[in-house]
Amino acid sequence: MIRPARPADVPAIHRLICDLAEYERSRDQVEATPGHLHAALFGPAPAVFAHVAETEAGTESGTESGDGPQIVGFALWFLNFSTWTGRHGIYLEDLYVRPEHRGGGHGRALLTELARICVERGYRRLEWAVLDWNEPSIGFYKALGAVPMDEWTVFRLTGDALAKVAGDGES
């Protein structure tokens, strides 16, 4: 049901990323192409990883692609690091299950697999960011025992501001 992504999964993962962006009301912000994903996930020395949730043909209603197994969700993640623990952890960048396949345990199974990897490798933390208005997800995560890092805000430097800071060292 849960397995590491393979190169042949890239088109399906890309479609799910576009679906997720739509859910987050940001479809127009997706610049990533299947080529970008393939290069990052399956190039030399990858620094980002993905797992997929797959159904068997015929085990769920609403399948649309005939007989083969179908990718209905994915988790995309990378390693973070804490200077307090001195160990790596997993940062879950995206977790998504297609709406018509929710409630089947796929999201939970993806999280379980990442938690299992953490425990197996001695990673101390599994972290991810949630939109503040996404109440269904927040309830689910709190029920798992995840704790909101309410005291912290992420700052982002991008675009022209990033280029400007990068240019500070030039004369």
Taking the complex as a whole, how short is the minimal distance between the CB of residue 56 and a second copy, in angstroms?
18
Taking the complex as a whole, how short is the minimal distance between the CB of residue 35 and a second copy, in angstroms?
8
Amino acid, res. 76: L
Complex with a second copy: residue 11 or 62, whichever CB lies closer? 11
> Does residue 91 carry a catalytic annotation?
no
DSSP 84-124: TT-SEEEEEEEEEE-GGGTTSSHHHHHHHHHHHHHHHHT--
Taking the complex as a whole, how short is the minimal distance between the CB of residue 29 and a second copy, in angstroms?
5
Complex with a second copy: residue 61 or 158, whichever CB lies closer? 158
Complex with a second copy: residue 67 or 132, whichever CB lies closer? 132
Please provide the size of the chain in residues: 171
Q: Of the residues 23, 91, 123, 141, which is catalytic?
A: 141
135-146 as b/e: b if 16+ CB within 10 A = eeeeeebeeeee
Q: Which residues are catalytic?
A: 141
